[in-house]
Structure 1
Amino acid sequence: MKQVRIVFAIISMLLVVVGCSNEESAEPSEDEKQEEVKEVEAEDTEVIESAAIQLSPYAEEIDFSLISPEKEEISANTIVELKGTIGQADNFNENLIWVVITTDEPMKKIEKNDFNYYIPLENGEFSKQMKLHHGEGEYQVSVRVPSNKAGEEDKYYEAASFDVINQDQNVEREVEYTKYGVKNNIQLTSPAFGISDSEAGVHIEGTVPEDHTGEMVLVQVNKENENRQILFPVKDNKFSGDVPLYFGEGIHHIRIQTYNEAEDLYYESASFYADNQTETVFAEMEKYNEYITRGVSLDEPTFHTEAVLDQQAYQVAGEIDPEAPGAADINYVIVTVKHLDENLESGYLIPVENYQFDGTAYFRFGPGDYEVIINVPDLEQHDQSMFYFQGVVKINHQVEGIVDERDLLPSRGIESDHPAIIQKAEELTAGLESEREKAKAIYQFVAEHVAYDVEKAENDIFNIGDSALSTLESGIGICQDYAFLATALLRAIGIKSHYVEGYAGERHAWVEVKVDGEWLEMDPTWGAGYVQDGQFHFHYNEDYFDPDPNFLAETHTREGIMY
């Protein structure tokens, strides 16, 4: 092929010399003219008439023959037809021909310069319209055939090779399938091309064979040293979904992996590239298997939720598939939000009604890196004293430009933003000036309003729906309910407060409140009355509103704060 350039250079030089010479020269004789023509024709013939493709000894052994192409050097416009026969193919360890197309000038930002085809061998024949994957340039094509020897199940031998000059400048890369993908008939119907410009994401659709046992397809997104994974369900032998180009502007490599039941592993089946035209970086979202098996579908957040946020409120919305196992028993979605820098966590409860849910969690601990996990109840655990749940989705965010309101925002059981809670808090503190007076009024109300639920305490009954609002409405509860209500009422009027977890002979909860710049503790449960002969008796006292720390320490052991 290099001779082509040399011949063109010689011809160009001759033209330049003839065109630029101002000297008169003698007219060549007819014999000299004919000799020049013969020399040029000989050179052209040497370039154009390429030698036949040479076959390897193994190719000769198995009676391998290439029908197309025939020459070891050819030119093409993107498409190259490969066609041939093998006379002795019955004993092959594989039923696929492997073709590797390599270019010396790979595309920018794509880490590999080769492209692989696996072509089915049928009745000793193979045929494929192949595309030269990187546009204009020189390519080397290696045709490889499987071994027919025992113990060489994954081994291929080169049968033939040839060179191609692609004269087409257009890049028409195909989706690239692995040997596993071809053998197992995995097909991508979208995207149609192996590389394309995209805005933020790319839609995929594909099919698996009827005997495919995997419930999910795993999609891996790579850019340089970063990678993310997404799961898409397989329904009726089809899969589809939107793949976010997580890592901002530039080339992303998307790999489709399908499940192998025998080995309990996912194998790469196909891959393609997407050139993201936007700089937006998306949040890392990981869907667990339970996302599929429990029938969860999220509307918010999505794979296209940005990685960097600047708002405290975080919407969580979606639906539960009514046909999923245990769907009717999912009454709540539980959201945990963890501040990774401080290792602090808050929880939020979102009701599920008619299989729909829509609620708000909060980034309450100020700026930093957060991990959000969306959970559903674990139906296999049966313990009335505890609530078990399973994570279905994990999302990571960096949050900027927000204030730390860990002691004021609502959380699970503490609905300080509910109108009924706000109204009651304002009623209780109307006309009071100091924060201490307001805190004491709330302490007194909770102690006098809520009757201690002896049966619930003795049977150690836990209900995930227990909350400040339900306690306000029912007027009955145990220590956690007293603490829920007092904390919610305090936060509702802008007084910082905590739900304190600890022990007072048994598991117990009380309240910490910031009054006039100083934190004090109060226990409205112990200020409400006493239990005698299995019955609760109201007997309000103020001993446990801002008690002396040493006095409180005699009975109360603090373990931490539930945000």
Structure 2
Amino acid sequence: MRNKITNFLLIFMLLALTACTTDQSPSATPEQEAKKDKYTTLAEEANKKDSLEKLELLPYAEEVEATLSSPKYKEFTANSTVLIKGKAKKYNSFKSDHVWIKVRSDKEGPNGREFSYYAPLKEGKFEQKIQLFNGKGNYSVKVSVPSDKAEDYYYDIASFDVENVNPEIKRDIAYTKNAFQYDLKLKNSINGYMERDGSFELEGDVADSSVEQLMVELKKESESTKIMIPVENGKFAQKIPLYYGAGVHEVQIMTPKEGSTDFFTDAAHLYVKNLSSESFEPVKYSSAYEEKGFKLETPEVGGEKADLSYKIKGSIDPKGEGASKTNVVFVQTEKDDQKAMYAIPVKNNEFDGEFFLRFGPGRYEVSLMAPDFTMTNGYMQYFEGVASFTIENTNMSDQRFTLPSRGIQSDAPEIKELAEQLTQNKKTDKEKALAVYEYVAKNVSYDVDKLNNRTFEFDDSALKTLDEKEGVCQDFAYLAIALLRASGMEAQMVTGFAGQNHAWVETKVDGRWLTMDPTWGSGYLQDNKFVPKFTMEYFDPKPAEFQKTHTKKEIEF
């Protein structure tokens, strides 16, 4: 009998203990109290001192039978965040499936003073933790549910004020309803407010398979630029440069407007504080960039500094317009109205090459261009710009007459080796020039078919001429200039008129420009056929005699 009474007492005591602790949290241990965040303690103490007034819902809440289980008070203190949780019984008539929560700070912060959340409604229930984004201070919050009559209309069901005791600036990513429509999500490491040095990684995914690209607009004060971000298999990742130096950059991420691929609408906002004072310029892309399937890996920004040369790298989507025929892309540099062209080979739809800043120190406008096969014909070659940017050359030397350029691969091993053989034991620059003139005029045949059929190619060059041993005037000039430059001599291409459009060569000898025309020095045309007959007549001719047959128009580098 005694055992039964003891068991009964134990059960009674357990039940009593359980009943006593149902509506309150167990006491924290001393260790837990020590670990508690000091701002949480500050908030709790402030709430104990204040006589908290119960939150009363606004009239529309009664119409839709809405209730809030959190927060419970009209005015209270918090540490950085507040949980908003509630439900609406009459949610079936709502014209939207999100609750709109508006947060307003009483002070202007680095990211403004307002923030909005769109909390999903699931079977009438909603839950959203809101961040008090400007740090320490007072905030007003409004909770609104959708109208039951019109889309994009909301009615307030609750309004409360909260004081944040935490001074740290934390911000969530501001997602709009468009983000939910496309199921856009950014990587967890990305916050609504971040501090970075020069750039940041934008990474995430889009569940909607119809989205092929996103648009990102980067803003700082009065400056802004737009960047297109490709989406592949629902994922995207790209480094975003913070172009405009030190300070807060606003980042707006946009998804395609429904039913359109050319227009974009706001989907998410975040802010990045750039800790670097260095500023850059955006790379500018034309519509052809996307149409032709280009992807530029280097440069990522414009305005970089370089010492005489710069590497450009990228790829071309095989499905891009004209991609299957594109075996070379072109770079044009311009400084003080002086222009130079460079050809970058394309192999397996990828290009990776170097171009030069040959006109001395200063700012260069650089254009990446693709062949335009729709316009090009036998008489003219056309190019279409796909991207442009600037480069600052820090090298003090002007090497416009000595560096490689389009069609003139003076740095190619084959060209350098041949140049060394030709000029070996030659004592003067004039002797070197003559050796080059003789080689080209004696070893390259004039291609009459190319002249008649106008079969000029985008990859015509010194190397191609050396390999095929035939060509027209520009090909003779390409090879001669490449050999001269590889020999350490200054040389340039002259274009003009000699019965028809023509090209020849000038090279610096003893402080003067020596003229040579290896094309005319190789032979002549008779009955539409090339007759090889070497002549010295067009090596360093007397200017008065040469000008009787040749009219000079332009210089090309």
Whether the aligned pair in 2 keeps the contact of 1:315 and 1:358 (CA below 8 Å) is: yes
- 5 Å-filtered alignment, 1:136-285, equals 136-147=136-147, 153-210=151-208, 212-263=209-260, 264-282=262-280, 284-285=282-283
CA distance in structure 2 between the partners assigned to 1:446 and 1:353 by the alignment? 29
Unaligned segments of structure 1, at least 5 residues: 1-43
* Correspondent of 1:482 among 460, 476, 486: 476
Of residues 310, 313, 323, the one that matches 1:314 is: 310
Could you say which residue in structure 1 is the equivalent of 2:82? Answer: 80
In the TM superposition, what is the alpha-carbon distance from 1:546 to its structure 2 partner? 4.3
Could you tell me how far 1:216 is from its partner in structure 2? Answer: 1.3
Question: Could you tell me which amino acid in structure 1 is paired with residue 142 of structure 2?
Answer: S
Q: Does 1:112 find its partner at 2:112? A: yes
Post-superposition Cα deviations, 1:344-399, rounded to whole Å, max 9, x if no partner, equal: 33222222334554321111111222233334445656645554555444332222
Flag the 1:505–1:96 CA change in 2: closer, same or farther, 3 A.
farther
Deviation of 1:496 after TM superposition, in Å, equals: 1.9
- TM-superposed deviation, 1:483: 1.2
- 1:561 to 1:142, Cα distance in 2 relative to 1, 3 A: farther
- How far 1:415 moved relative to its partner? 1.2
Per-residue CA deviations over 1:401-439 (Å, capped at 9, x if unaligned) read 332211111011111122332333344444544444443
- How far is 1:72 from its partner? 2.1
Match of 2:70 among 68, 71, 96: 68
Distance 1:183 1:427 in 2: 69
TM-score between both structures, scaled by the size of structure 2? 0.81
Partner SS for 2:480: helix
State yes or no: 1:399 paired with 2:393: yes
Aligned residues: 510
Report matched runs for 1:442-453 at 5 Å.
442-453=436-447
Please say which of residues 234-243 and 424-433 is displaced more in the overlay.
424-433
Q: In the aligned structure 2, how far is the partner of 1:92 from the partner of 1:77?
A: 33
| 2:333 equivalent in structure 1 | 337
What displacement does 1:188 show? 1.1
> What is the identity, as a one-letter code, of the residue corresponding to 2:221?
E
Partner AA of 1:490 in structure 2: L
Q: CA RMSD of the aligned region, Å?
A: 3.2
Cα shift readout 1:521-554 (whole Å, capped 9, x = no counterpart): 4322223221011211123334444445555455
Aligned partner of 2:41 in structure 1 is: none
Contact kept in structure 2, 1:54 and 1:72, CA below 8 Å? no
Distance 1:46 1:481 in 2: 90
Give the CA deviation at 1:96. 2.8
Question: For residue 337 of structure 2, what is the amino acid of its counterpart?
Answer: N
Where 2:273 maps in the other structure, the secondary structure is strand
With over 3 angstroms needed to count, the CA separation of the structure-2 counterparts of 1:380 and 1:92, relative to structure 1, is: farther
Deviation digits for residues 468-516 of structure 1, max 9, x if unmatched? 1222333211011111112212222232221123333333212233333
Given that 1:288 and 1:393 are in contact with CA atoms closer than 8 Å, whether structure 2 keeps it comes out as yes
In the other structure, the counterpart of 1:498 is 492
Alignment partners' CA distance in 2, 1:177 and 1:161: 22
1:451–1:538 Cα contact (<8 Å) kept: yes
Structure-2 separation of matches of 1:120 and 1:258: 19
Residues 53-64 of structure 1 mapped to structure 2, 5 A cutoff: 53=56, 55=58
Q: Report the AA paired with residue 214 of structure 2.
A: V
Given candidates 361, 364, 388, the residue that maps to 1:370 is 364
2:6 aligns with none
CA gap 1:500/1:423 in 2 versus in 1, 3 angstroms: same
- Give the aligned partner of residue 532 of structure 1: 526
Amino acid at match of 2:181: K
Q: Is the 8 A contact 2:314 2:351 kept in 1?
A: yes
Which residue is equivalent to 1:15?
none
Q: Which amino acid aligns with 2:346?
A: V
Does structure 2 retain, via aligned residues, the 8 Å contact 1:74–1:163? Answer: yes
Does the residue aligned with 1:526 lie in a helix, a strand or coil?
helix
Map residues 506-521 of structure 1 onto 2, 5 A cutoff: 506-521=500-515
Q: Could you tell me which of 101, 104, 122 is aligned with 1:102?
A: 104
8 A Cα contact 2:132 2:164, kept in partner: yes
Distance 1:215 1:416, change over 3 A: same
Asked whether the equivalents of residues 231 and 287 of structure 1 are also in contact (C-alpha less than 8 Å), the reply is no
Alignment correspondent of 1:33: none
Separation of aligned partners in 2, 1:502 and 1:99? 71
Q: Distance in 1 between matches of 2:509 and 2:91?
A: 87
Counterpart-to-counterpart distance in 1, 2:249 and 2:71: 34
Separation in 2 of the partners of 1:356 and 1:465? Answer: 16
Between 45-54 and 165-174, report the one with greater CA deviation. Answer: 45-54
SS of corresponding position for 1:409: coil
Q: Separation in 2 of the partners of 1:86 and 1:427? A: 90
Residue 39 of structure 2: aligned partner: none
- The Cα offsets for residues 182-208 of structure 1, whole Å up to 9 and x where unpaired, read as 333221124342222323322222222
The 1:173/1:517 distance shift into structure 2, 3 A limit, reads: same
Q: Which amino acid aligns with 1:76?
A: A
Q: Which letter does structure 1 place at the counterpart of 2:330?
A: I
Q: Secondary structure at the match of 1:48?
A: coil
2:55 corresponds in structure 1 to 52
Q: Percent sequence identity over matched residues? A: 39
Q: 1:248, CA displacement in angstroms?
A: 3.5
Q: Residue type matched to 1:181 in 2?
A: A
| Matches of 1:226 and 1:506, distance apart in 2 | 50
| 8 Å CA contact 1:218, 1:266 repeated in 2 | yes
When residues 490 and 99 of structure 1 are mapped into structure 2, their CA distance, relative to the original with a 3 A threshold, is: same
Larger mean Cα displacement after TM superposition, 199-208 or 243-252: 243-252
* Deviation readout 1:437-477 (Å, 9 max, x if unpaired): 44344334322332111111100111222211222333211
Provide the secondary structure at the position in 2 that maps to 1:512.
strand
Give the Cα–Cα distance (whole angstroms) in 1 for the partners of residues 137 and 556 of structure 2: 65
Matched-pair contact (CA < 8 Å) for 1:178–1:268:
yes
